[in-house]
């Protein structure tokens, strides 16, 4: 049976009221993790007042070496 390890990364948004993201920076970070064998399995945003995103939570997994 395959075994996995998991990694959770929280990216805080920018701006006075949140919600601003630096897509290029996120893309670079995702590519680095992908090159290290991490697969993005889920992402979600956490909301604050008026529906703006306070942060984005990314969940990754990769097979453990056996």
Tokens of residue 44, six digits: 């979600």
Reported pTM = 0.82
Region 18-24: what's the mean pLDDT? 77
Q: Which percentage of the chain shows pLDDT scores above 90?
A: 55
Residue 48 above 80 pLDDT?
no
Q: What pLDDT score does 17 carry?
A: 62
DSSP per residue over the chain, as a string? Answer: ---EEEEEEEEE-BSTTS-B--HHHHHHHHHHHHHTT-EEEEEEEEE-GGG-EEEEEEEEEEEPP-
pLDDT band for position 16 (cuts 50, 70, 90): low
Whose structure tokens read 């395959």?
2
Region 10-20: what's the mean pLDDT? 75
pLDDT higher at 18 or 20: 20
Closest CA to 54 of 15, 26, 7: 15
């Amino acid at each position: 049976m395959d075994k996995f390890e998991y990694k959770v990364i929280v990216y805080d948004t920018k701006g006075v009221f949140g919600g601003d993201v630096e897509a290029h920076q996120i893309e670079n970070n995702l590519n680095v993790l992908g090159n290290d064998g991490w697969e993005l399995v889920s992402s979600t945003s956490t909301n604050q007042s008026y529906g703006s995103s306070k942060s984005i939570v990314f969940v990754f997994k990769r097979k453990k070496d056996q």
